């Protein structure tokens, strides 16, 4: 895809990502925004996502993000959707995406079937930021764009550790850090640093975790009662499922939190034996082979029973 060609003539451009934006979502939306502001100075460009976590405050012009989903433009010439495998993950931004004269989809979820007028989708890419980087012309690149994209790559690769990290990913990272930002500080402050409350939630989830299938699966949950008592939001739960996955002998980790009475958001992580994207897709969610998610209704025990059945089918093959 030639991005600037696709955008030629567009005077109003909206950019969005998925609800509960993670590092790749914030990084790709802001990297794209900062780039288009420079490459297309006469266009009105509006980034629209939910308010990013405070750890992302180091990204330039974060205050330009429209979080109230009332951009003052009803029909955009072009709307760019990033890091979203399905339309419903745009949340309140969906009508703007659907109403736009042209819709561009850029994504790295293997489950993305391509639903825009133009799309750039690669299920092998580490992150949407990696794909955004592919589309940018060097002459408009700068340190702030590089930093935003770097953050997304770092987050979706678990600091260049997960199997989605490729030689291409590392080549891009090499080019990005040449811009000279303080990357160890960025990794610490956006990825590893946790608030006291986040650590408390992590501690709770670990203490309460249960293993099954001879220790090959681990599950933990945080319910509404606990969330209300601690004043914890989903933002506090990031990273918990990864920590569960580090349990020796575990192939699949499951973390669930109650989004509504008897309705859970489920995060799955796999060491490779089980394709959790397949399981998530079955429950109308999505993701990648080793990291996927979905929502499910029922009691905690019923949900775990159903999910474990899906896991067992793959494990017994």
Q: Which residues bind Mn ion (CB under 5 A)?
A: 22, 24-25, 83, 127-128, 156
Residue 304 interaction partner, one of Mn ion, ligand AMP, none, beta carbon < 5-8 Å per kind: none
Query: In whole angstroms, how close is the CB of 292 to ligand AMP at the nearest point?
Result: 4
Residue 242 interaction partner, one of ligand AMP, Mn ion, none, beta carbon < 5-8 Å per kind: none
Query: In whole angstroms, how close is the CB of 108 to Mn ion at the nearest point?
Result: 6
Q: Which is nearer to Mn ion, 163 or 305 (CB)?
A: 163
Cβ atoms 247, 208 nearer than 8 A: no
Residue 294 interaction partner, one of ligand AMP, Mn ion, none, beta carbon < 5-8 Å per kind: ligand AMP
Q: How many CB atoms sit inside 10 A of residue 120's CB?
A: 20
Q: Rounded to whole angstroms, how far apart are CA atoms 285 and 303?
A: 14
Q: Which is nearer to Mn ion, 50 or 83 (CB)?
A: 83
Q: Which is nearer to ligand AMP, 70 or 284 (CB)?
A: 284
Binding residues among 271-310 for ligand AMP as defined by CB under 6 A:
285-288, 291-295
Our measurement of the distance from residue 308's CA atom to the centroid of its chain's CA atoms, rounded to an integer in Å, reads 24
Residue 25 interaction partner, one of ligand AMP, Mn ion, none, beta carbon < 5-8 Å per kind: Mn ion
3-state secondary structure (DSSP) of residue 213? coil
Cβ atoms 94, 29 nearer than 8 A: no
Residue 32 interaction partner, one of ligand AMP, Mn ion, none, beta carbon < 5-8 Å per kind: none
Q: Which is nearer to ligand AMP, 36 or 219 (CB)?
A: 219
Q: Rounded to whole angstroms, how far apart are CA atoms 66 and 16?
A: 10
Cβ atoms 293, 266 nearer than 8 A: yes
Q: Which is nearer to Mn ion, 24 or 236 (CB)?
A: 24
Our measurement of the distance from residue 154's CA atom to the centroid of its chain's CA atoms, rounded to an integer in Å, reads 12
Question: Which residues are paired to 294 by β-bridges?
Answer: 266
CA dihedral sign, ordered 265, 223, 55, 191: negative
Q: Which is nearer to ligand AMP, 37 or 281 (CB)?
A: 281
Helix (H) or strand (E) holding 275: none
- Which one of the spans 4-12, 45-53, 82-90, 197-205 is the region binding ligand AMP (CB under 6 A)? 82-90
Query: In whole angstroms, how close is the CB of 77 to ligand AMP at the nearest point?
Result: 27
Binding residues among 211-270 for ligand AMP as defined by CB under 6 A:
267
Q: Which is nearer to ligand AMP, 12 or 198 (CB)?
A: 198
List alpha helices for the chain, DSSP H: 3-6, 23-39, 94-99, 128-135, 143-156, 167-177, 183-187, 196-207, 224-230, 240-245, 276-282, 300-315
The residue to which tokens 């934006």 are assigned: 21
What token pair was written down for 276?
A: 């959790």
The residue from 17, 27, 81, 89 that contacts ligand AMP (CB under 6 A) is: 89
Binding residues among 107-136 for ligand AMP as defined by CB under 6 A:
109
Q: Which spans of this chain sit near ligand AMP (rule: CB under 6 A)?
A: 85-86, 89, 109, 267, 285-288, 291-295
């Amino acid at each position: 895809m030639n991005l600037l060609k696709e955008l030629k003539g567009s005077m109003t451009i909206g950019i969005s990502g998925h609800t509960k934006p993670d590092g790749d979502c914030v990084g790709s939306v802001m990297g794209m925004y900062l780039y288009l502001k420079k490459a297309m100075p006469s266009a009105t460009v509006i980034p629209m996502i939910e308010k990013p976590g405070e750890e992302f405050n180091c990204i330039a012009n974060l205050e330009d993000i429209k979080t109230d989903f009332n951009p003052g433009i009803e029909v955009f010439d072009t709307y760019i959707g990033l890091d979203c495998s399905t339309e419903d993950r745009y949340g309140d931004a969906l009508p703007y995406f659907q109403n736009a004269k042209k819709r561009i989809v850029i994504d790295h979820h293997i489950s993305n079937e391509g639903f825009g007028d133009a799309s750039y989708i690669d299920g092998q890419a580490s992150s949407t930021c990696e794909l955004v980087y592919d589309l940018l012309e060097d002459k408009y690149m700068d340190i702030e764009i590089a930093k935003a994209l770097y953050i997304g790559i770092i987050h979706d690769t678990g600091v260049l550790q997960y199997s989605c990290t490729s030689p291409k990913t590392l080549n891009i990272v090499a080019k990005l850090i040449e811009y000279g930002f303080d990357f160890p500080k960025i990794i610490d402050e956006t990825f590893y640093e946790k608030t006291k409350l986040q650590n408390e939630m992590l501690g709770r989830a670990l203490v309460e975790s249960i293993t099954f299938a001879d220790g090959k699966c681990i599950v933990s949950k945080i319910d509404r009662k606990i969330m209300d008592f601690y004043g914890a939001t989903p933002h506090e739960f990031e990273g918990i499922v990864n920590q569960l996955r580090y349990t020796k002998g575990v192939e699949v980790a499951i973390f669930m939190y109650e989004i509504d009475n008897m309705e859970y958001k489920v995060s799955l992580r796999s060491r490779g034996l089980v394709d959790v994207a397949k399981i998530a897709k079955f429950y109308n969610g999505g993701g990648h082979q080793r990291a996927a998610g979905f929502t499910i209704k029922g009691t905690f025990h019923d949900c775990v029973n159903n999910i474990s059945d899906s896991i067992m089918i793959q494990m017994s093959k």
